[in-house]
C-alpha cells in the first residue's frame, strides 16, 4: 500500500501536467489519459477516474467549489481504488498559480 500512496499521486500529477490549462471542451483529453491507467495487482477501481474542468468541479466535490474557483482552479482528477482493509481516494487539483492559492492576487 505504501508504494501505491507514492505512485498514485505521481500518476495523477503527471496526467494533469500533460494537459495544461484545459478548457471545458478539452476535458476529454485528460480523461482519455487517465482511462489508460490500470490498478495495481490486488486493487480494483469501482468506477473510472473522474475529471473536472471549470464549473465541472461542482459535480466532482460536495461543496466548496466556489472557494477553489476564487483561488484559480483550472482542473482536477480523482480516482478511487479499493483493496482490503479500506478504499483509497485520491484527488489532485491544478490551480492557476501558488500565489493565488495562498490568497494573493
Other beta carbons less than 10 A from residue 6's beta carbon: 8
Which pLDDT does position 25 carry in this prediction?
Answer: 45
| All residues at 6 or more sequence positions from 9 whose CB lies less than 8 Å from its CB, including other chains | 90, 92
| Residues 40-82: tens digit of each pLDDT | 888 899 988 888 999 999 999 988 899 889 888 888 989 899 9
Whole-model pTM: value is 0.63
- pLDDT higher than threshold 70 for residue 10: no
Look up residue 1 and give its three cell numbers.
500500500
Amino acid at each position: 500500500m505504501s508504494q501505491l500512496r507514492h505512485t498514485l499521486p505521481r500518476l495523477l500529477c503527471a496526467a494533469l501536467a500533460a494537459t495544461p490549462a484545459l478548457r471545458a471542451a478539452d476535458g476529454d483529453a485528460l480523461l482519455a489519459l487517465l482511462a489508460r491507467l490500470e490498478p495495481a495487482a490486488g486493487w480494483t477501481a469501482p468506477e473510472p477516474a473522474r475529471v473536472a474542468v471549470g464549473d465541472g468541479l461542482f459535480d466532482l466535490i460536495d461543496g466548496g467549489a466556489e472557494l477553489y474557483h476564487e483561488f484559480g482552479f483550472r482542473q482536477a482528477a480523482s480516482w478511487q481504488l479499493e483493496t482490503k482493509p479500506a478504499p483509497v481516494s485520491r484527488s489532485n487539483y491544478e490551480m492557476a498559480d501558488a500565489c493565488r492559492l495562498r490568497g494573493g492576487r
